[in-house]
């Protein structure tokens, strides 16, 4: 069916190690502050679940749905926010968590929308960064890995909704 990955880029252990490091970096950075982690669905669902368990200090978790890709592999440029958390954002320290930053459209759109709600601070965390976004409103302060300029799947990342369940991250074509 051609539904197999071609090459593993980040294996399970490598991801787990880095996620644990990110968790302690985040815990240290927000020491003593009230923190709200906002994961961007669906891609970040596994990353957020693993990450928050490594942020060893009290914090809250919420989600927001941002869709920028259809079934293709190239960003459509359009970002739709399908759900806005009812949660109070004003006066809170917000950490937006995404799976991967490619064109930066999604993160920019989400950050602009969150800024309008007057958070106390706004920072971003992404597991993967392709480092090719021309302009980012908020340059992610916490980055898991610099990613190759290939289409990646697994650990929450999909291609047309397939592959999200994989414990590792890989490419589907060379
Ligand atoms: P951007 O808006 O172009 O930065 O893309 C961000 C969103 O597109 C991410 O949150 C992912 O959901 C998706 N995306 C970008 N690159 C990839 C990829 O290589 N594989 C799977 N999804 C991707
Ligand atoms: Mg996606």
- Answer whether residue 141 is part of any domain: yes
Ligand nearest to the CA of 97: 1
- Give the pLDDT of residue 2: 53
Judged against a pLDDT cut of 80, whether residue 145 lies above it is answered with yes
| 45-70 pLDDT, tens digit each | 999 999 999 999 999 999 998 876 55
Residue 72 lies in a domain: yes
Which residues have any ligand 1 atom within 6 Å of their CB?
40, 43, 68-69, 75, 98-107, 151-153, 157
Q: Is residue 166 part of a domain?
A: no
What is the model's pLDDT at position 4?
A: 83
Q: Indicate whether 148 belongs to any domain.
A: yes
Residue 63 is assigned to a structural domain of this protein: yes
Give the pLDDT band of residue 141 (cuts 50, 70, 90). Answer: very high
Q: For a ligand 1 pocket test, name from 80, 140, 157 the mutation site with the most ligand atoms within 8 angstroms of its C-beta.
A: 157
Q: Which of 7, 47, 70, 100 to mutate to test the pocket of ligand 1 (most atoms within 8 A of CB)?
A: 100
The total number of structural domains in the chain stands at 1
Provide the terminal-to-terminal Cα distance of the chain, rounded to the nearest Å.
17
| Catalytic-residue membership of 102 | yes
- Tell me the residues surrounding ligand 2 (ion) with CB < 5 Å: 43
If you average pLDDT over every residue of the chain, what do you get? 90
Domain encompassing residue 134 = 14-152
CATH code of the domain in which 112 resides: 3.40.50.2020
pLDDT at residue 86, rounded to an integer: 66
pLDDT tens profile 109-127: 999 989 998 999 999 999 9
pLDDT tens digits, one per residue of 164-173: 999 999 999 8
Residue 128 lies in a domain: yes
The torsion of the CA quartet 102, 122, 135, 152, rounded to 10 degrees, works out to: -10
Instruction: Indicate whether 5 belongs to any domain.
Output: no
Lowest mean pLDDT among 5-9, 15-19, 49-53, 64-68: 64-68
Mean pLDDT is lowest, of 63-72, 86-95, 137-146, for 63-72
* 85 compared with 151, residue with greater pLDDT: 151
Cα 83 to ligand 1 centre (Å): 18
Closest CA to 151 of 79, 63, 43: 43
Residue 79 lies in a domain: yes
The pLDDT, as a whole number, for residue 67 is 72
Out of 50, 98, 99, 102, pick the active-site residue.
Answer: 102
Query: Mean pLDDT across the stretch 5-11?
Result: 94
Q: What per-residue string of b and e applies to 77-110 under the rule 16 or more CB within 10 Å gives b?
A: eebeeeeeeeeebeebbbbbbbbbbbbbbbbbbb
Ligand 1, atom 11: nearest CA belongs to which residue?
100
- Residue 78 pLDDT greater than 80, yes or no: no
Least confident piece of the model among 25-34, 43-52, 80-89, 129-138: 80-89
């Amino acid at each position: 069916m051609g539904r197999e990955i071609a090459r593993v880029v980040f294996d399970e252990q490598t991801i787990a190690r880095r996620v644990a490091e990110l968790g302690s970096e985040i815990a240290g950075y927000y020491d003593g502050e009230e923190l709200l982690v906002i994961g961007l669905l669906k891609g970040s669902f596994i990353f957020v679940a693993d990450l928050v368990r490594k942020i060893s200090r009290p914090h809250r978790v919420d989600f927001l749905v941002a869709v920028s890709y259809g079934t293709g592999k190239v960003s459509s440029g359009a970002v739709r926010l399908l759900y806005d958390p009812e949660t109070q954002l004003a006066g809170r320290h917000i950490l937006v968590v995404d799976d991967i930053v490619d064109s930066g459209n999604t993160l920019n759109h989400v950050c602009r929308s969150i800024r309008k709600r007057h958070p106390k601070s706004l920072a971003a965390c992404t597991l993967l960064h392709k480092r090719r976004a021309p302009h980012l409103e908020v340059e992610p302060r916490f980055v898991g890995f610099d990613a190759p300029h290939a289409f990646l799947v697994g650990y929450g990342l999909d291609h047309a909704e397939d592959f999200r369940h994989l414990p590792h991250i890989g490419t589907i074509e060379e």
